[in-house]
Structure 1
Amino acid sequence: MPRPDPPTPLIHRAADRFTTEAEGRRTHHAFSFGAHYDPANLGFGPLLAYNDDTVLPGHGYPEHPHSDVEIVTWVLGGGLRHEDSRGHGGLVVPGTAQRLSAGDGVRHTETCDAGASSAVRFVQMWLRPDEPGGEPTYAAHDAGDALATGELVPVAGAGTAAPVGTRGAVLHAARPRAGARLRLPDAPTLHVHVATGAVELEGAGPLTEGDTVRWPGGGGAGVRVLRDDTELLVWTLP
């Protein structure tokens, strides 16, 4: 019998994202979030939120609570100041993945320092944990040296210093140069996000900044990089 065709990738364009504007910050939401509700777009597998934030110096998110969610933050430019009720804090910069497992409850703040020379731009991703409750934990993984290769490298999840409580979920990042060719990780399900720049993805076509692809069965597809400023984020999901 002939093998069935793999599932078609679902492409979401940057222009179709929900947007929230508040004093000193702007957020683009890939999924339903807050006041933005679309019953057909509540998430993808264990991914519950996928937010692209820009925060001006002296602004950000005042203290607020979380529980039963895995929060992974990846900074694209500038520095993000994080402080939480468990005593974890510091400045998160490009090349470092931060993971906060909220467990049975944690409070934190996220801001751009008032004296910063530029805004901070970051992607924040929320996942559903395998087990609710438990003690909140924090971790960070500096992937700067590995990113210098231009290849897709794991930055959060199993095998990194920032594991997540969602079995089978791993975030990969790449900063390739124009003309490079990459291959997506071989996994049952992929979520591909062009954080900056542009690529051509086998089976999905050209993608530019802010575009995402949700793809069951997309593992192993080829990527051709179209611009030097490209930064690619790829979740492998169970």
Structure 2
Amino acid sequence: MKTTATPTAASTVTVHPAAARGHADHGWLNTAHSFSFADYYDPAHMGFRSLRVINDDHIAAGRGFPTHPHRDMEIFSYILAGALAHRDSLGNVRVLSPGQVQLMSAGSGVTHSEFNPSATEPAHLLQIWILPRERGLTPSYTEWQPRADAADRAKTLLISPDGRDGSATIHQDAVIHRLRLKAGETVTHDLASGRGAWLQVIAGELTFNDTPLAAGDGASTETAGRLTFTAATPVEALLFDLQ
């Protein structure tokens, strides 16, 4: 009798290599696009569920994005190095430091600018766009601030629909965790049926259900169950759990 092999956990993970990302160097901005964005278009990489943009941005000293409009998008920046000066039409004026998250719900329409305020040091951040649960929402702004008791946590909640545990609030059924793992450390995440997970590796090397990944790689799964992440080197990554 013919038998069919049961797929291993690793076979359910789809890898999106760092080298396959779109790339643009504008002099003042050096950026890599995980999904189609601006002049980079790849019909195979238009997003993952409600996740539409992951841009890995390096911004030169004293440069940035002048005031421009957005609507009907949840936009957040995760600061990796340097600083980011944010100003928007809601009246928010902030300078964000590494480890901080700022999330702007563009809703029915908002304008903002983002600049590197340093005269000498570059800034490095991830800018991420997620579709909201509905169009025409009232624009809003929220932040996540690192807490001293969370500095060494392997898995930390950054963003959630209800702002629980001090997380920034998003208008979508999306939960985003930061992973910070020491070499040899393992953390797990339970993915519910009907949901999808995307992992964006910021630094280091790890395995995602035994699939090896390195800095800049993305990986996704839509297979429910326990996801396991084990660091080969010190790792920082963002984990998206999406409806």
Contact 2:157 2:167 in 1 (8 A): no
Q: 1:224 aligns with which of 222, 225, 230?
A: 230
**Cα distance change on mapping 1:84 and 1:173 into 2, 3 Å:** same
Taking the aligned partners of 1:114 and 1:179, their CA distance within structure 2 comes to: 36
Greater C-alpha radius of gyration: 2
In structure 1, the residue matched to 2:30 is: 26
- Whether the 8 Å contact between 2:13 and 2:209 is mirrored in structure 1 is no
Q: Secondary structure at the match of 2:226?
A: coil
Correspondences of 1:39-188 after superposition (within 5 Å): 39-115=43-119, 117-158=120-161, 159=164, 160-167=166-173, 169-187=174-192, 188=195
1:99 Cα deviation after fit? 0.6
Q: Is the 8 A contact 1:23 1:59 kept in 2?
A: no
Change in Cα spacing, 1:147 to 1:95, as seen in structure 2 (3 Å) is farther
Task: Could you tell me which runs of 5 or more consecutive residues in structure 1 were left unpaired when the two chains were aligned.
Answer: none
- Matched AA of 2:57: D
Give how far 1:4 is off: 7.0
Please say if residues 191 and 215 of structure 1, whose CA atoms lie closer than 8 Å, have aligned partners that are also in contact.
Answer: yes
Q: SS at 1:15's partner residue?
A: helix
Q: Distance in 2 between matches of 1:95 and 1:152?
A: 14
Question: CA offsets, 1:177-234, max 9 Å, x none?
Answer: 111111134343100011111112224x211100010111254221111222x21110
Identity %: 31
Distance 1:104 1:180, change over 3 A: same
Q: Distance in 1 between matches of 2:118 and 2:100?
A: 21
**Corresponding residue pairs, total:** 233
Instruction: Report the Cα distance in structure 2 between the residues aligned to 1:135 and 1:155, rounded to whole angstroms.
Output: 22
2:19 match: secondary structure: helix
Give the C-alpha shift of residue 150 in structure 1.
3.0
Which letter does structure 1 place at the counterpart of 2:206? V
Corresponding residue to 2:18 among 14, 20, 23: 14
What's the C-alpha RMSD, in Å, of the aligned pairs? Answer: 1.9
Match of 1:199 among 193, 198, 206: 206
DSSP-derived class of the 1:221 partner: strand
For 1:76-134, what per-residue CA distance to the aligned partner results, in whole angstroms no more than 9, with x for missing partners? Answer: 1111111111111211112221110001111111110143x521111111011111112
1:211 aligned to which of 199, 213, 217: 217
Q: Look up the SS of the partner of 2:65 in the other structure.
A: strand
Match of 2:238 among 213, 227, 233: 233
Shift of 1:146: 4.8
TM-score scaled by structure 1? Answer: 0.91
Distance in 2 (CA, whole Å) between partners of 1:185 and 1:83 is 37
SS of the equivalent of 1:155 reads strand
* Stretches of 4+ aligned residues off by more than 3 angstroms: 2-7
